[in-house]
Amino acid sequence: MRCVAVNTLTLAAITLVYLAAIVVLGWLGYRQTKEHEDYLVAGRRIHPVILALSYGATFISTSAIVGFGGVAAQLGMGLIWLTVLNIGVGILLAFVIFGKKTREIGQRLKAVTFPDLLGKRYESQFMQYAAGLVIVVGMPLYTAAILIGGARFIETTLVIPYDSALLGFAAVVALYVVLGGLIAVMYTDAMQGGIMLIGMTVLLVLTYVHLGGVVEAHNALAGLSSMVPEALAAAGHTGWTSMPVLGSPIWLTLVTTIVLGVGIGVLAQPQLVVRFMTVKDSKAIHRAVLIGGPFILMMTGVAFTVGALTNVYFVQNNGMIALEAAGGNVDAIIPAYINASMPDIFIIVFMLALLAAAMSTLSSLIHTMGTALGHDIWRGIMNAKPSLRASQAGCALMVGVSVGLAYLMPVSIIARATAMFMGLCASAFLPAYAAALYARTPSKNAAIASLVAGASMWFLWTAFVHVKESSVLGLSQAIFGTPALLSSFWQAVDPLIIALPLATLVLLGGMAVERTMPETAEKSQDTVEGEALR
């Protein structure tokens, strides 16, 4: 966002106050971090309000607001189905069905990371290594995407060179993550979540005020359906207040990649799962649900609604739809709208909200990668005792890797990183994670087979079929001479839609086979008796 209309001194002063608050909260985290359990799971004593805001702020990155808000400006209000899943699956299901059990089992087994939880529940070091490896290999790409987005944003708003923005952004976040661990991350997340809430609330209210009211704005948007570009109409776009044609390419992208891919993918995100282990009891989880639902509604619900409505503003003021007004760049729509329509003071508030969204997600990713490397992999291989220093070193190293990737990776791959990482996590982890929480006798072999099958199928579909990624990765072109295999219908289907059911079937099949084996049946009986005695 370019804040040319905003007084630079005011902007710099507010940014400094924001950074000072971050430093204070980071210092508080540092002071309260005495041992590895403090660093990894915030000492299991986080307040429910902090949990809810931290979970929400980590969940919602800048790309969820600017990127997906821009997609809503392009494709319309159908994106609100993602908000339905964000709240129904990402909060209600995640906290009530997954979160409470995760906390209970995590506390009982003294698990301190997501891979540690899987490893201890399945009594499998391999499971811990494999989950840690997926995080250490897959997450830096997503982290680099967040870093680049944040740096570009700082570059344009504060008018400083890109390299300085990138390195400064990474250094500030690294400082409080490396020193203060998850306590510092969650304290800063909570403050950032509060800023995001203020920013999005003002954005919604001012948008409806600008457009003459709720019903008037929606009526105006519905009246623009004749202005849908021909290429989009041919792909199934029917207008901004209606769903695309069933089964059309836009419908498939909207439903499989955006709504289901991102909506379900959130359930097995290691950086979110670990937050359930930061509270001491289920009461804290219950209370966090009360805040988490409305928070997410005000994030994605507002971003997608306002995103679609930007078309009305640009048509009324510029005579063209939002995509045209932003020069065809979906990511530029929301910033262009804010700059064109909002008062100066709000531009600063929104700038801070976006910076907060980027920092909260980035800090959580660095912490998750660093602890996977330092605690789950390095400590396991060295057979060492849990160590605060190992996790800190892991975090510092992963910051370096992510910054390096941000310079090396092509922008085209970075742009796909968020959806790719969510899909990979759900495909690899979700069935095994669910079974770890709810199976009476979780099967180690079935879980490993499910993780390997899910991750492998996700990779094959991503590299060879789902054209949005395969055309960028270039493997299919190099081996088969075509950007993607199979028909155009399948090329639009997200890898998650194929890999997750496969991983689930492999898990269920493996568990069924194991149940028929005499020694497993005996162990199962022992477990049932053991649980009855507890």
Q: Which residues in this chain contact another protein in the complex, by CB under 8 A? A: 77-78, 80-81, 83-84, 87-88, 91-92, 96, 100-101, 103-105, 107-108, 214-219, 221-222, 241-243, 280-283, 285-294, 296-297, 301
Tell me how many degrees the CA angle 210-309-303 measures, rounded to the nearest 5: 105
Q: How far is the CB of 104 from another protein (least distance, A)?
A: 3
- Between residues 101 and 466, which has the closer beta carbon with respect to another protein? 101
d(CA 272, CA 254): 24
Q: CB of 403: closest distance to another protein in angstroms? A: 37
* C-alpha to C-alpha distance for 44 and 60, rounded to whole angstroms: 23
Q: How many Cα atoms occupy the beta-carbon half-sphere of 358 within 13 Å?
A: 26
Rank residues 438 and 489 by Cβ distance to another protein and give the closer one: 438
Please give the structure tokens belonging to residue 383.
């057979």
Q: Which two tokens stand for residue 73?
A: 């400006």
Q: How far apart are the first and last CA of the chain?
A: 58
CB of 93 to another protein, least distance (A): 10
How far apart CA 14 and CA 210 sit, in angstroms, is: 26
Q: Nearest distance from residue 250's CB to another protein, in Å?
A: 14
If DSSP codes are grouped into helix, strand and coil, which group holds residue 408? helix
Per the CB < 8 A criterion, the answer to whether 289 and 95 are in contact is yes
Cβ 164 to another protein shortest distance, Å = 40
Least separation in angstroms between CB 34 and another protein: 22
Least separation in angstroms between CB 241 and another protein: 5
SS3 call for 482: coil
Q: Is the dihedral angle over the CA atoms 247, 252, 256, 258 positive or is it negative?
A: negative
Minimum Å gap between C-beta 291 and another protein is 7
Residue 509's CB is within 10 A of a number of other CB atoms, namely 14
Q: Which CB sits closer to another protein, 214 or 320?
A: 214
Measured from the CB atom, the residue of 273 and 285 that comes closer to another protein is 285
- Are residues 41 and 203 in contact, defined by beta-carbon separation less than 8 angstroms? no
Decide: helix, strand or coil at residue 493: coil
Q: CA angle at residue 516 from 513 to 519, to 5 degrees? A: 110
Q: What's the min distance (Å) between Cβ of 179 and another protein?
A: 31
Least separation in angstroms between residue 77's CB and another protein is 5
Residues ≥6 apart with Cβ < 8 Å to 261: 419, 422, 423, 494, 496, 497
- Is the distance from CB of 79 to CB of 110 less than 8 angstroms? no
Q: Of 239 and 431, which has the nearer Cβ to another protein?
A: 239
Question: Which of residues 84 and 179 has its CB atom nearest to another protein in the complex?
Answer: 84
In terms of CB distance, is 299 or 352 closer to another protein? 299
The residue among 216 and 522 lying less far from another protein, judged by its C-beta, is: 216
Of the two residues 87 and 358, which places its CB atom closer to another protein in the complex? Answer: 87
With contact defined as beta carbons under 8 Å apart, do 485 and 476 qualify?
yes
**Residue number with CB closer to another protein (47 or 286):** 286
Look-up: residue for tokens 């890797």?
A: 401
Residue 470 near residue 482, CB atoms below 8 Å: no
Going from the C-alpha of 166 to that of each of 67, 106, 150, 161, 171, the distances in angstroms are 19, 36, 8, 9, 9
Output 305 or 364, the one with its CB closest to another protein: 305
Give least dist CB 272 to another protein, A. 16
Q: What distance in Å separates the CA atoms of residue 366 and residue 358, rounded to the nearest whole number?
A: 12
Please identify, using beta-carbon distances, which residue of 85 and 165 lies nearer to another protein.
85
| Shortest distance, position 480 Cβ to another protein, whole Å | 38
Nearer to another protein (CB atom), residue 301 or residue 335: 301
Measured from the Cβ of residue 319, the count of other Cβ atoms closer than 10 Å reads: 9
* CA nearest to 168, candidates 147, 190, 192: 147
Nearest CA among 176, 196, 198, 171 for reference residue 187: 176
User: How far is the C-alpha of 157 from the C-alpha of 205, rounded, in Å?
Assistant: 23
Residue with tokens 């990776």: 409
**Residue 167 C-beta: closest distance to another protein, Å:** 39
